[in-house]
Structure formats: structure tokens, C-alpha cells
Amino acid sequence: MSVVLQKINSSVRSIRPMQDTALAQRAGQIKEELRQGVKKPYIKIIDLTWGDPHRHGLKPLTFARQVLAACLYPKLLNDDTLPADVRQRAQGLLSECQGGSMGSYTDLPGIPQVARQISEFIVRRDGGVPSDPESILISPGSQWALQNILSLLVHGSDSAVRSGVLTPLPSHCVSIMSVVGLGGVSVPYHLSEEQGWEVQVEELNRVLEAAKQEYDPVALYVINPGNPSGHVQSRKSIQDVIRFASEKRLFLLADEVYQDCIYKDNIEFVSYKRVLAEMGPPFSNTVELASFHSASKGFLGECGLRGGYVELVNLDPAVMKHVFTIFSKDNAPTPGQIALSVMASPPQPGDPSYPLYRMETQQMQTLIKDNVRIVHEVLNSLPGVSCQPVEGGAFAFPIIYLPPKAIRKAKELGMEPDTFYCLRLLEDAGVFFSPGCEYGQKVGTYHIRFCIMATRGTIEETLTRFAVFHTHFMDEFS
């Protein structure tokens, strides 16, 4: 019987809301102090805690905004100042909206054309591996989709045995909160920082065997490319993980939202769906998989439009009906669905919009690759800082070797050492980074996380401020 079908009667609880951290509150206070004219060594805060390219100064893709504009204001469909392919795309999307308007409710669980375009995108991405539009569910973001798939898997605390979900450390905290908020247990497995944040099957086995003593492990969550680690899994690594999931009868949850953000020339993104299909039976027709993607991430970067999807593989038909019901309760906003359409089906050679689209995306790719190079060079040139290569994703996650004196001072203040470090960085240099303790890390190690998808000027100023601060901090606590 399907793993998910056994879990349909799981108790479901709502996710706990994220609380404002002391760092975020202090950043808000400093912004207000600056606004009131309080003198500081800087005139503005640089906040790189968000994986939000537009927040950090990168510009929206013209084609995406033109299609959105024409859908929002259909009179533009008759305006030949917009390229013909923009008007054609907008007309096609509006034709599948009730009444031809973005203001109407869309079909459940989304605009049919968008699901078809996502399916065609997946087939192209995966070298011809089939994709059924009926197995693609559009959602208000990938985290919303993950939350609802987890609701099928997780037994809550009122069950005889609580469900466990193997989750990577470091990992995005919202994903772990989704498990805990449903009454389940996050079973952490550590990525190997020394091996470039590699996923190690030996570690998966270790934590699974330990978890089975108290919990019922039901799923394995992977993030590829990593957030915040920036690693990209190899095909062999993915094969090993799939074999492990098959042997242990774990549902695979593949967070692949940064799949378009690959920065090293000898590295490629390979999806879990493709590797699973190419492994053949018994894996290809038995391992249950949910693959998540989003219009918020990558070079499209339309975070505020709230559009994502999940593709489901090898689920029992009875489960699919249940999943469809859950996803139908809260459609993705129509602008988010249109952003997904642009992401899945961008302009092609010969289209009027293609030259500008290609130029914009190439410029952005070049910028981020240069940012990655500069970040890596500067961080690894500083004493007490070491950063693994950022192969993909949106963040750098360097380790900081804090002096014992700084660690003692943090403990005296009741803080985690890397939180203390980030608070001092915020106060002294006006740079807002996230501490590694928010994402999970091995005991005795300390990290910081910041977004590398920003303008060149922002990255250069950030690194200049950071280098000066770090040097003074290390001197102070040496």
C-alpha cells in the first residue's frame, strides 16, 4: 500500500507563525534611529537576509512585467507598443480566466494553460521524461505546497507514535517549522561541510535508525540546490538518496526552487524526477516523490506574486484525489500563476521578445556569477572565515571561527555566539546577516548567511563593511 495512503488519517495542525527575532527588531530600531538623524558610522542598513532579488536591487524581467500588465489592463492587447508575443501570451491566459478577467476565480487548482506549460517545461528540463499536467498542482508558493503535502504524511502529537521527517541541517527554518507545526518531528541529518555540504547516506542511516526508537519516519526532505549551503547534488548523490528512500520506504520531498541558479561551469542541475525515471524499475515506478518549484526564486525573482507548484510522482490515485481537494481550497493568486507561465515558457529564438529577454537573463547570470566569485575571494581572505564554494542557490553560508573570548561574552549575554556576532555586525557596520543557528549547524560551529543575488554595488559595499568589522571584532576578542 502507498506510504501516503497509510497516512491519510493523520491529524493536521496549523503551522506556528514565525516570530520576529531580536536581530530583526533591532534592525528596525536602527532604521528608525537613522531616519531621526542619529549619527552612526553608516547612513543605511544593508539587509541581505532575504532571498529576494528585487529587494536587493535586481530588476524584474521585462517580458514578465509586460505580460502581467496586459493581463491586468486588457486594453493593452490592442496596443502595438507591446511585442506581439506578449499580447499573444496575455490573450491566451485571459481566455482561460472566467469572463476573460484576472479578477475572476481561476479553475481549480489553477489556470489549465499554466499547468500544461509547466508540464512541457519539465519534459524539456528532464530530457524527454514524460510529465502529466494532471500531476502538477499550482499553489501560493512552494512552502504552501510543502506544508500541504506534509499534512498527508505527518501524525500529530496526539497519535500513538509521532511522524518523523528527515530534514537537512543547515536547512531553511520555515520548512522545519512546517513539520513541527503539524505535530511531527524534524529528524535532522547533517550535511558534510568538509565535503562541500554533501548529502551522505551513512548520516541518513544513522539518524534514521536513531529516530525509529521513538518516532515513525515517513519522509526524507532534500534541498537541491541547497539553502543556505549553496551545494548542488551530483547525479550519483541523487541516485544514492533515491535508493535509500526506496529501501526505507520514505516519501521523497525535493525542494528544487533554485534549479535555474547554477554558477559553476562544471556543475549542472539534475532533477530528482529525471534521475528517478532514468534509474528504471523498481525505483521509477515505486518511489513516491514530490518536487517543488517556485516563481519566487531564481532569476525571475517574483517573490511578492506568490506562485509555486508541486509535481507528484507515483502517488496512489486515491491519494491524488485527496491532494487535489486540499490544493483546491486556496488557489495561487492569478498574478503568481502568470509568473509561473513566464518561468515555464519564456520567449524562444525568433520571438519578438527573445533578444531582450536573453540579454536581461544573461546579464543577471553574469552578475551573480561575478558576485559569487567576489564573495568567495573576500571571505576566504579573512582570518577566521571559511566559505565552501557556492555552486548554486541564493546564499553564501561561511563558517566563522569565533575566538573563545567572544563565545564567552555571548553566553554571558544569553545569546548564541553567531547571533552575538551578527548583532555586533548590525550595530557596528549596519550590515544585517542571519546567524547560522537559525538554520541548524553542528555543535561548536558558527555560521552566517546572506543573499548573493544583489547588485554589484550592494555586494561590494557589504563586503567592504564586513571585512572592516570582522578585522576589528577578531582583534577585540583575540
Would you state the pLDDT for residue 59?
96
Would you state the pLDDT for residue 11?
28
Residue that is last in its domain, among 344, 377, 407: 344
63 in any annotated domain = no
Q: Please indicate, yes or no, whether residues 383 and 335 belong to a single structural domain of this protein.
A: no
Domains in the chain: how many in total? 2
Q: Please indicate, yes or no, whether residues 334 and 234 belong to a single structural domain of this protein.
A: yes
CATH number of 142's domain: 3.40.640.10
Q: What is the dihedral of CA 128, 65, 78, 113, to 10 degrees?
A: 30
Q: Please indicate, yes or no, whether residues 115 and 233 belong to a single structural domain of this protein.
A: yes
135 in any annotated domain = yes
Q: Which residues contact 180 (CB under 8 A, 6 or more apart)?
A: 16, 186
Which structural domain range is residue 110 located in? Answer: 93-344
Residue that is last in its domain, among 344, 374, 403: 344
CATH number of 397's domain: 3.90.1150.10
- Comparing 4 with 10, the larger pLDDT belongs to 4
429 in any annotated domain = yes
Q: Please indicate, yes or no, whether residues 324 and 390 belong to a single structural domain of this protein.
A: no
Q: Please indicate, yes or no, whether residues 324 and 378 belong to a single structural domain of this protein.
A: no
109 in any annotated domain = yes
68 in any annotated domain = no
Q: Please indicate, yes or no, whether residues 428 and 314 belong to a single structural domain of this protein.
A: no
Q: Please indicate, yes or no, whether residues 192 and 336 belong to a single structural domain of this protein.
A: yes
Q: Please indicate, yes or no, whether residues 231 and 152 belong to a single structural domain of this protein.
A: yes
pLDDT tens, 367-395? 999 999 999 999 999 999 999 999 999 99
pLDDT at 18 over 70: no
Q: Please indicate, yes or no, whether residues 340 and 364 belong to a single structural domain of this protein.
A: no
59 in any annotated domain = no
Would you state the pLDDT for residue 109?
77
Residue that is last in its domain, among 344, 375, 409: 344
pLDDT tens, 308-349? 999 999 999 999 999 998 888 888 899 999 999 999 999 999
What does pTM read for this prediction?
0.92
Q: Please indicate, yes or no, whether residues 308 and 171 belong to a single structural domain of this protein.
A: yes
Q: Please indicate, yes or no, whether residues 157 and 255 belong to a single structural domain of this protein.
A: yes
Q: Please indicate, yes or no, whether residues 45 and 165 belong to a single structural domain of this protein.
A: no
Would you state the pLDDT for residue 158?
67
177 in any annotated domain = yes
330 in any annotated domain = yes
